[in-house]
Amino acid sequence: MSIRVLSHRDVHRLLPPAECAAAMREALTALAAGRIHQPDRRPVLDPPGAAGLLGLMPAYLAGDEPAYGLKAVTLFPGNTARGLDSHQGAVLLFDGATGRARALLDASAVTEVRSAAVTAVATDLLARRDARVLAVVGTGVQGRAHVRALAGVRGFERIRVAARDAAKTRRVCAELAAELGRPVEPCSSVREAVAGADVVVTATDAAEPVLRREWLAPGCHVNAVGSAVATTRELDGATMAACDVFCDSVAAVRAEAGDYLLALREGAVGPDLLRASLGEVLTGAAAGRSGPERLTLFESVGLAAWDLVAALHAVARAERLGAGSVVPY
Ligand SMILES: NC(=O)c1ccc[n+]([C@@H]2O[C@H](COP(=O)([O-])OP(=O)(O)OC[C@H]3O[C@@H](n4cnc5c(N)ncnc54)[C@H](O)[C@@H]3O)[C@@H](O)[C@H]2O)c1
């Protein structure tokens, strides 16, 4: 018996942003069709005094080539100061016919690439066709991945970035500009970055809102990616109330998303706020944007389904190319 191991670098090579977005379209469609099974709530072990937590994200894909996936992901906020990704761990892929462990992948890379790819699909589905200005809040792993993944979704003429640390924001913008071969503008505040923006991404680990309703231009599409737990949020209640809200999974948002749960608790929104899942919009079961002046929101929690399908694509490609390491098991 053997198992294929895909490192951080392998995953990035095997899942470039556009290909991962195509895989995430398949995942969204499969989830909307009921072919992916996953728990609504992710078991999390968060012991008092521990430096980080461990979350378990299992999923099953039914069909001709069934598969189980399990992401065991750790979240260590102190890692960023050490130059490490705050999200660590592994994705295990199992053959759905025999249960055999087929592959082990670096979870940091899978999480980074698949989250931004789902946002790229959401932006393509929900942002206005003539969107020209992109603003990304956050210069961490997700902020950078989102600039890379969204740069090609619309003909953006300007890409702006803001975060807490001005010097880091300038450095990250210079690195992304060199990588993408186009200007990426550092902004001194979130308000400055989002002024007049057509698409906004919040990808921070903030506990309190970083975005205010009054800063958003008419017709803006917002992707709320960070702070995806029940006790923290990036958006104020007024933004939640003003937007047509779409999500990766209605059940997951109701169980885990602080943007929604805290706005609900303070009475800014009602329980019927969530319009539809992205998969329902993609398959035509639900309508998306209803007018050029509407504010739309993609509330992203991040699902085991995305990890499973991203891993399946990376592993299938690795098997074709002979990539990664095959070790006895
Ligand atoms: N929805 C998903 O699928 C998904 C997937 C992975 C991570 N996440 C979440 O996304 C968030 C970011 O993850 P990461 O790996 O990039 O973290 P990170 O630690 O690498 O980066 C966090 C960033 O947030 C910025 N920030 C924090 N507070 C801010 C504020 N008040 N104003 C402006 N910027 C602020 C920091 O400056 C930093 O750039 C985390 O909350 C993480 O749990 C969500």
Using alpha carbons, select from 161, 91, 62, 139 the residue that is nearest to residue 302.
91
pLDDT in tens, 274-318: 989 999 999 999 999 999 999 999 999 999 999 999 999 999 999
In angstroms, the CA 28 to CA 165 distance is: 35
- Residue 232, ligand 1, Cβ within 6 A: no
Spell 7-37 as b/e; 16+ CB within 10 A means b.
eeebbbbbbebebbbebbbebbbbbbeebbe
pTM of the prediction?
0.97
**Average pLDDT, whole number, for the chain?**
97
- Residue 140, ligand 1, Cβ within 6 A: yes
Cα 248 from chain centroid (whole Å): 9
Sign of CA dihedral 179, 183, 184, 185: positive
Are residues 297 and 154 part of one domain?
A: yes
In angstroms, the CA 219 to CA 243 distance is: 10
- Residue 165, ligand 1, Cβ within 6 A: yes
Are residues 218 and 243 part of one domain?
A: yes
- Residue 227, ligand 1, Cβ within 6 A: yes
Domain holding 31: CATH number? 3.30.1780.10
Are residues 122 and 270 part of one domain?
A: yes
Are residues 137 and 36 part of one domain?
A: no
Domain holding 270: CATH number? 3.40.50.720
Are residues 216 and 126 part of one domain?
A: yes
Are residues 135 and 23 part of one domain?
A: no
Are residues 128 and 226 part of one domain?
A: yes
pLDDT of residue 192: 98
Model confidence at 185: pLDDT above 90: yes
Which ligand 1 atom is the nearest neighbour of the CA of 227? 41
In sequence order, what DSSP letters do the residues of 187-209 get, joined into one string? -SSHHHHHTT-SEEEE----SS-
pLDDT in tens, 242-285: 999 999 999 999 999 999 999 999 999 999 999 899 999 999 99
Are residues 317 and 171 part of one domain?
A: no
Are residues 209 and 319 part of one domain?
A: no
DSSP bridge pairs for 234: none
CB 160 within 8 A of CB 183: no
| Cα of 300 from ligand 1 centre, angstroms | 13
80: which DSSP letter? G
In angstroms, the CA 4 to CA 20 distance is: 20
Using alpha carbons, select from 84, 154, 153, 152 the residue that is nearest to residue 112.
84
pLDDT in tens, 47-98: 999 999 999 999 999 999 999 999 999 999 999 899 999 999 999 999 999 9
pLDDT of residue 229: 86
Domain range for 281? 115-302
- Residue 74, ligand 1, Cβ within 6 A: no
In angstroms, the CA 54 to CA 75 distance is: 7
Please tell me the chain's helix, strand, coil percentages from 3-state DSSP, rounded to the nearest 5: 40, 25, 35
CB 24 within 8 A of CB 306: yes
The residue whose CA has the least distance to atom 15 of ligand 1 is 141
pLDDT in tens, 120-175: 999 999 999 999 999 999 999 999 999 999 999 998 999 999 999 999 999 999 99
- Residue 205, ligand 1, Cβ within 6 A: yes
Residue whose CB lies within 8 A of the most ligand 1 atoms, among 106, 139, 205, for a mutation test: 205
CB 215 within 8 A of CB 190: yes
Are residues 205 and 60 part of one domain?
A: no
Which ligand 1 atom is the nearest neighbour of the CA of 118? 3
Are residues 214 and 189 part of one domain?
A: yes
Residue whose CB lies within 8 A of the most ligand 1 atoms, among 79, 191, 204, 303, for a mutation test: 204
Are residues 120 and 37 part of one domain?
A: no
Question: What single-letter amino acid sits at 102?
Answer: R
Using alpha carbons, select from 20, 180, 39, 182 the residue that is nearest to residue 114.
20
In angstroms, the CA 242 to CA 45 distance is: 35
| Cα of 65 from ligand 1 centre, angstroms | 35
What is the domain count for the chain? 2
pLDDT of residue 170: 98
